[in-house]
Structure 1
Amino acid sequence: MKIETKYHGEYELQQQQIIHFAQGIPGFSEEKRFVLLPLEDTPFVILQSVATPALGFAMIDPFLYFPDYDFELDDASIEQLELSSAKEVAVYVILTVADPFDQTTANLQAPIVLNQQKRFGKQVILTNTPYQTKHRLFPEKTAAK
C-alpha cells in the first residue's frame, strides 16, 4: 500500500511494517497505525502515521545519546504490548527539533516502547522518575555558550 508521509513523500508500505498502538499516542488517540521510517545517514527515525500524512514524530534510540537512561516498564504495559522477552523490545524517544539543531531536546519522560515481533507500540508515561520532557541532545553546546 502507498501512503503519503511528512518527510519521505509517497512511501510504499508493506502491511507487516505497520505498528499498532491500541490506545493511540497521548494527544492523538485516534491514530492507531504507524510505521518507522529511517532518516538516511542519521540515527533518527520518523514514527509516521499511516492515516495522516502530516503526522510524523522525529525519534531516536535514547541509549545513543543518554547511555545511562533506565526505566522499569510497568506490568500493564508489558501485558498490553505482549512482551515476553527483552529481545522483543525497542525503545525510542520523541524529539522536539529546534533551530538551531543543537538546541533539540528529547522527551525521556514518555518513551515509545515497541514489541518488534508482534508490531505493538505504546507511549509510556514514566512517573516517579528524574526524567523530564526536555533533555538536550547536545548539552555541551549549551555549556559552551
Structure 2
Amino acid sequence: MQNELSIKFDFPEGILGFEEIKEFIIKDSAHKPFSIMQSINGEINFLVTSPFNFLETYFPNIEEKDWLDIQAENENEKVILCIINMHVKTYKEITANLKAPIILNKKN
C-alpha cells in the first residue's frame, strides 16, 4: 500500500460494528508501516497495518470462499490488514486485531 494516492474500497456488508459504513479509502500514513483507513464521509478512521510487518508466521483463518467473495484470484491480489488499537491514555500500549483481519482485493 505504498501509494501517494488514496485507494478506495467498498465493503458491501460494512465492517463488524460499523455495518452502515460501506465505503473507505486507505491512504499512507507518515508513521510507517501504518496506513489510515478512513470512511468516505470522514466520520470514522482506523489505523491499519499488514500483520506480516510484525508476525512473519501469522496464519489467519481465512477461508477460500472469503477470497472468492471479493474476487481475489491470486496471491498478488490479496491484501490482509489488521486494525490497530492505540490506548489513548498512554499511547504506549498498542494492540492489533488479529482475530478479525480485513481482507481486500488490490485489483478491485
Q: TM-score, normalised by structure 1?
A: 0.65
* Among 23, 26, 30, the residue aligned to 1:33: 23
Superposition deviation, residue 41 in structure 1: 4.1
Q: Equivalent residues in 2 for 1:26-65 (5 A)?
A: 26-51=16-41, 53-65=42-54
User: CA deviation digits over 1:76-109, x for unaligned, max 9?
Assistant: 3122111110110111100111243331100000
Superposition deviation, residue 37 in structure 1: 1.3
2:88 counterpart of 1:110? no
Following TM superposition, where does structure 1 have runs of at least 4 consecutive aligned residues deviating by more than 6 angstroms?
A: none
Report the structure, 1 or 2, having the larger helix content.
1
Superposition deviation, residue 49 in structure 1: 0.3
Q: TM-score, normalised by structure 2?
A: 0.86
2:63 counterpart of 1:67? no
2:9 counterpart of 1:19? yes
The one-letter code sitting in structure 2 at the alignment partner of 1:45 is S
User: CA deviation digits over 1:35-94, x for unaligned, max 9?
Assistant: 00111142111110002x230111111111111111242133122111110110111100
Instruction: Answer whether contact 2:60 2:101 (CA < 8 A) is retained.
Output: no
Look at both structures and tell me which one has the larger radius of gyration over its CA atoms: 1
RMSD: 1.7
Q: Percent identity?
A: 28
- Any unmatched runs of 5+ in structure 1? 1-12, 119-145
